[in-house]
Amino acid sequence: MRFRNRDTEGNGIKVLALRLGILQVVCSLLLVFPFLLKAEDGIILYPANGSSVENHSFGSQQILSNCWTPRELRGKPEEKAIRIAPLSSHQDPPQGRFPNHSFTPLKPELQNSIRRVQPMGDKKVVALTFDLCETGNEIAGYDAAIVDYLRDNKVKATFFAGGKWMHSHPDRTMQLIADPLFEVGNHSWTHANFRLIDAGKMEEQILWTQAQYEILREELQSRVLAKGLDPIEMNKIPKTPLVFRFPYGTCNSQSLNLLKSYGLAAIQWDVVTGDPAKGRTAPAIVRAILQQAKPGSIIICHANGRGHGTAESLPLFIPKLRALGYEFVTVSELLTYGPAVAGSDCYELRPRDNLRYDKLSRPK
């Protein structure tokens, strides 16, 4: 009968464990260090934030289905219209308050202006985003055809909503934040140019919008309780927006530092549809997206009545991107797939290409 030496066996196991530990460390370093290098064009690749996609939840189908009928969720064509409105209470805080939610400073890897993500293994994920902006002297629209198509085809998307837009469209806002397909981000209060306003106005534009989101979330919670739904379902809806988009894509170091302190990631884009231009056609939007989109892209569109040709383009480019293997995710989900590609400047496609907005827009 042959016996094994227990001491020798124990030492062998220890050596094997040590080797496996070293191998794990090396693999981790190989994944992280390449993304700490500064690129020649001033863009920095930051490591991913380490959270898993499963940890991100943006709504509850139970709440959505029980608080609105299918007919109530469907939109009406007339909702897309933009109306002129006199300057009024939009200059006051929503219900006279600032947000209750405490701020967690933004992680270093998500600071600066994020243009896209570099997914690990070139995973084919893209974030489809829609701006819901509203200036001080108007009531912007709600492009129901866009939302209806996304719901019908189970397409995830992120809506960057202005605080005043939320105030003007409370029911539609609550539907968006309740829908598990969608994420709702902050797009400032009245679409002010952050290069032209002072720090005090910047804070108002950011925090009033956060507060308006909280107000509507609280109203939604009241509806959930009134209908006898499980209140735990509300935990699936973020208590505050997690991401921010600068109006006109304009920023400066002061505004980026403010967002950093409020824990809001500044989300730009790398695919421009050009849909705010009157006369923009669906085929032109499709060409722009198919030519520019790549793994980790962030696509900018509009759903506030200024998305010309956008609704018509969705059934043309979404099936094509899916056929190419692409998956649509929310922006916060996209940030978990790999390092963010970010820089200290904000622009449309090339540095300084949005300076024209400084002449066209004035502080609001």
CATH classification at residue 207? 3.20.20.370
How is the chain split among helix, strand and coil, in percent rounded to 5? 45, 15, 40
The CA distance from 20 to 29, in Å, is 14
Averaged pLDDT for residues 243-250: 96
Provide the pLDDT confidence category of residue 56 given band limits of 50, 70 and 90. Answer: low
DSSP state of 94: G
Residue 27 domain-assigned (yes or no): no
Residue 21 domain-assigned (yes or no): no
Average pLDDT, the chain: 86
Averaged pLDDT for residues 112-139: 96
Residue 3 domain-assigned (yes or no): no
Residues in the chain: 364
Residue 31 domain-assigned (yes or no): no
Residue 293 domain-assigned (yes or no): yes
User: What residue has token string 């600032």?
Assistant: 98
Is residue 1 over pLDDT 70? Answer: no
Is residue 169 over pLDDT 70? Answer: yes
Per-residue model confidence (pLDDT) at position 95 = 80
Query: Containing domain of residue 140, as a range?
Result: 39-360
The CA distance from 112 to 117, in Å, is 13
Q: What single-letter amino acid sits at 173? A: T
Residue 17 domain-assigned (yes or no): no
- What is the total count of domains within the chain? 1
Residue 5 domain-assigned (yes or no): no
Provide the pLDDT confidence category of residue 87 given band limits of 50, 70 and 90. Answer: low
The CA distance from 172 to 61, in Å, is 15
Residue 126 domain-assigned (yes or no): yes
The CA distance from 209 to 118, in Å, is 30
Least confident of 7-11, 110-114, 302-306, 355-359: 7-11
